[in-house]
Amino acid sequence: MEIKLTKMQGCGNDFILIDLDEYRKGLKNNKWKDMSDSAKKLCDRNFGIGADGLIIPNLDTEETDIGWFFYNSDGSTAQMCGNGMRCFAKYVYDKKLINRKTFSVKTLAGTIKPEILDNGMVKVNMSTPILDSEKIPFIPNNNLNYNISVKNRIFKGNAISMGNPHFVIFVNEDEDLLALAKEYGPEIETSFEFPEKTNVEFVKIRTLKKIDLRVWERGCGITLACGTGACASVTAGVLNGYIENSVEVNLLGGTVHVEWDGNRDNPDKDIFLTGPAEYVFEAVF
């Protein structure tokens, strides 16, 4: 069976999107099938196409305008992905699966609302950051400024969920963020405090309105960008009084903008992620 594919990227975080009609033609009784093995094969950068994730549109939703199936490169499913959502939003709008620029998407993290902006950027309402330890999930109750012991170091981090779990660590000016993510990310990802594993963010504050971020992504490893990680990092920064509510987040693959009007006294505010979504190529597999 041949399937039409589209490769897209948002700040270097890249994804394979499968043509919905072509996908359905190859299914018996038009039923969805688990694409975990296909995701691992397609996302392999040596023997496949190469990507951080695989995305399939889902029109069989009632409570939202559209939905998606999202797989990490290791074949696992993810509740949410901010960069992937921007690419997905642009894709379904351009393919005319959706006929308006603001719409709702069903994900495992709940309903997410992207908006196609006139300048070509995509703004996503990423919903409300989750601080409840049980819902993150995070075993200790003190999810903010929690000391975690990894190898020969103790890091103070903040456990936050954006529909998927994150552990945000702020480091000193002279630290190498990427080196930290590579060395300690895998250990923290699988630490006992995180029963569903976790994404790990190492953050350096440049100004009240600008931070640098490097990510060890659950199920992927080092990625050039992570939208939910950017949102979790800004949330943690605001809650700790390190940064303001509108922040430029510099990642390996580019820059995104995050806005959150929440604070410690009123954290139940939606957070917004704005950034690029670009096509790389189309192909037939």
Residues 182-213: pLDDT tens digits? 999 999 999 999 999 999 999 999 999 999 99
- pLDDT at 23 > cutoff 80: no
Percent of the chain with pLDDT over 70: 95
Catalytic residue (one of 11, 87, 220, 226) = 226
CA–CA distance from 257 to each of 150, 160, 186, 251, 271 (Å)? 31, 19, 27, 11, 11
* One-character DSSP codes across the chain: ---EEEEEEETTEEEEEE-HHHHHHTSGGG-----HHHHHHHH-TTTS---SEEEEEE---SSSSEEEEEEETTS-B-S--HHHHHHHHHHHHHTTSS-SSB--EEETTEEEEEEE-TTS-EEEE--PPB--TTTTT-SSS--SSEEEEETTEEEEEEEEESSSEEEEEE--TTS-HHHHHHHHHHHHHT-TT-TT--EEEEEEEEETTEEEEEEEETTTEEES--HHHHHHHHHHHHHTTSS-SEEEEEETTEEEEEEE---SS-----EEEEE--EEEEEEE-
How confident is the model at residue 273, as a pLDDT?
Answer: 98
How confident is the model at residue 152, as a pLDDT?
Answer: 87
| 215-238 residue pLDDT tens | 999 988 999 999 999 999 999 999
Walk me through the domains of the chain, giving residue ranges and CATH numbers.
4-127+277-284 (3.10.310.10), 146-269 (3.10.310.10)
Decide if 273 contacts 126 (C-beta within 8 A): yes
- Residue 213 backbone phi and psi in degrees, to 5: -140, 135
Decide if 231 contacts 213 (C-beta within 8 A): no
Decide if 121 contacts 145 (C-beta within 8 A): no
| Beta strands 13-18 and 53-58, pairing class | parallel
How confident is the model at residue 16, as a pLDDT?
Answer: 97
Measured CA to CA, the distance from residue 214 to residue 233 in angstroms comes to 10
Question: Is 11 a catalytic site residue?
Answer: no
Question: Is 226 a catalytic site residue?
Answer: yes
- Residue 29 pLDDT grade (very low, low, confident, very high; cuts 50, 70, 90): low
- pLDDT at 30 > cutoff 60: no
| Residues sharing a CB contact under 8 Å with residue 266, sequence separation 6 or more, in sequence order | none
Residue scoring higher pLDDT (96 or 1): 96
Catalytic residue (one of 81, 87, 220, 231) = 81
